[in-house]
Chains A and B, each alone.
Chain A
Amino acid sequence: RKEVEQDPGPFNVPEGATVAFNCTYSNSASQSFFWYRQDCRKEPKLLMSVYSSGNEDGRFTAQLNRASQYISLLIRDSKLSDSATYLCVAKRGAGSYQLTFGKGTKLSVIP
């Protein structure tokens, strides 16, 4: 079983739609979680951190459920520029650099 699992998609949604991505992790030692965005043939870029209390950044909302080892990302009012692959990432401890990446979920926002 992979340490971080995501639905690969693709998710094809019209502009303005709301779309949700899910991710599960298997290593209970993981303590921090993130969503990264990766455009085609580019490096991953940090989108946002994920907290149990949930956090929001504009149209993006992330949520962590430690009990079920589940992470989500909600994008509201999708824009064409949101088209990318979204990577779910787990990190070990506070004093660690170690990141484990999911395969990513591809999103295409259609005009």
Chain B
Amino acid sequence: GAVVSQHPSRVICKSGTSVKIECRSLDFQATTMFWYRQFPKQSLMLMATSNEGSKATYEQGVEKDKFLINHASLTLSTLTVTSAHPEDSSFYICSAGGGESASYEQYFGPGTRLTVT
């Protein structure tokens, strides 16, 4: 099956610093990658969709200048949380779509737990 990795799995940072999260598709080429955020006891909320080589499409209410997304290759997308604040503490999950099957299925990474102190 399609495997997606995320790094780091957990990160603690100080308020005001920036944090970069990597999402990689390990055994397929992901033309589209997605970034979700999940607060405790809440549903996964899509933050943005990125297509390789083009600008990401952000969902309403998500600040594109705060959550920088780069999808420079077919196997790597990065999410940078700039000037992080405690309210950004959350579980960030990426997913990747694409591959030969073209089934429009999303394959999820294991998630990154961000804590901003």
A104 CA to B43 CA, complexed, in Å: 7
Secondary structure dominating the interface of A: loop
B35 contacts the other chain (Cβ, under 8 Å)?
Answer: no
Q: How large is the interface on A (under 10, 10 to 19, 20 to 34, 35 or more residues)?
A: 10 to 19
Residues A43 and B110 in contact, CB atoms below 8 Å apart? yes
A42 CA to B46 CA, complexed, in Å: 17
Known A-B contacts A97-B32, A97-B97; the reply to A44 vs B41 at CB < 8 A is no
A99 CA to B45 CA, complexed, in Å: 10
Residues A97 and B104 in contact, CB atoms below 8 Å apart? yes
Which residues from chain B contact A99 at a C-beta distance below 8 Å? Answer: 46, 106
**What per-residue 1/0 map shows which CB atoms of B57-81 lie under 8 Å from chain A?**
0000000000000000000000000
Which residues from chain A contact B41 at a C-beta distance below 8 Å? Answer: 8, 103
B28 contacts the other chain (Cβ, under 8 Å)?
Answer: no
A95 contacts the other chain (Cβ, under 8 Å)?
Answer: yes
A14 CA to B20 CA, complexed, in Å: 43
Pick from A43, A95, A97, A102: contact of B93, CB under 8 Å? A43
B43, B91, B105, B110, most chain A CB atoms within 10 A: B43
Which A residues are within 8 Å of any B CB, using their own CB? 4, 8, 41-45, 87, 91, 94-99, 101-104
**29 A/B residue pairs, CB under 8 Å, sorted by A:** A4-B43, A8-B41, A41-B111, A41-B113, A42-B110, A42-B111, A43-B93, A43-B108, A43-B110, A43-B111, A44-B44, A44-B93, A87-B43, A87-B44, A91-B104, A94-B104, A95-B104, A97-B34, A97-B49, A97-B104, A97-B105, A97-B106, A99-B46, A99-B106, A101-B43, A101-B44, A101-B45, A102-B43, A103-B43
